[in-house]
Amino acid sequence: MPSSDPASLKRSVTLPMLIFYGLGNIFGAGIYVLIGKMAGIAGIYVPFSFLLACVVVLFTALSYAELSARYPLSAGEAVYIYEGFGSSLLSMAVGLLIAFGGLLSSATILHGFHGYLSTFVALPEIVTVVILVMALSLIAVWGITQSMIIAFILTLVEMIGLGMVIYAGAGYIESWDIPLKMAVPPLEFSVINAIILGGFLAFFAFVGFEDMVNIAEEVKEPTKTLPRAIMMTLLITTLFYMAIALVSVLVLSPETLASSVAPLAKVYETATGKSADVLSIIAMVAVVNGALIQIIMASRIFYGMSRQNWLPGFLGSVHPKTRTPIASTILSGVIVFVLATFFELLTLAQFSSFVIFIVFTLVNLSLISVKRKNPHPSGVRTYPLYVPVVGIVLNLTLLGFQIVSLI
Domain at 61, CATH number: 1.20.1740.10
199 inside domain: yes
The residue segments making up the domain with residue 258 are 15-406
Q: For residue 267, what are the CA distances in angstroms to 31, 120, 202?
A: 13, 22, 19
Per the structure, how many domains does the chain have?
A: 1
More confident residue, 115 or 242: 242
pLDDT at 348: 46
Distance CA 212, CA 262 (A): 29
Burial grade of 4 (CB within 10 A; 0-12, 13-18, 19 or more): exposed
pLDDT at 289: 85
- Model pLDDT for residues 285-342, shown as the tens digit of each residue: 887 888 888 899 899 999 999 998 999 999 999 999 898 999 999 999 999 888 877 7
Q: Residue 341 contacts by C-beta under 8 Å, 6 or more apart in sequence? A: 126, 129
48 inside domain: yes
Q: Are 10 and 300 in contact (CB under 8 A)?
A: no
Q: Are 164 and 32 in contact (CB under 8 A)?
A: no
2 inside domain: no
185 inside domain: yes
pLDDT at 116: 66
Confidence of residue 106 (pLDDT cuts 50, 70, 90): confident
8 inside domain: no
Q: For residue 292, what are the CA distances in angstroms to 31, 163, 205, 299, 331?
A: 18, 22, 18, 11, 14
pLDDT at 366: 96
Is the pLDDT at 134 greater than 80, yes or no?
yes
3 inside domain: no
- Report which DSSP code applies to 4: P
1 inside domain: no
The amino acid that residue 132 corresponds to is L
Q: For residue 363, what are the CA distances in angstroms to 66, 327, 381?
A: 11, 28, 17
Confidence of residue 80 (pLDDT cuts 50, 70, 90): very high
pLDDT at 170: 83
pLDDT at 2: 47
4 inside domain: no
Q: What integer best gives the mean pLDDT of the chain? A: 85
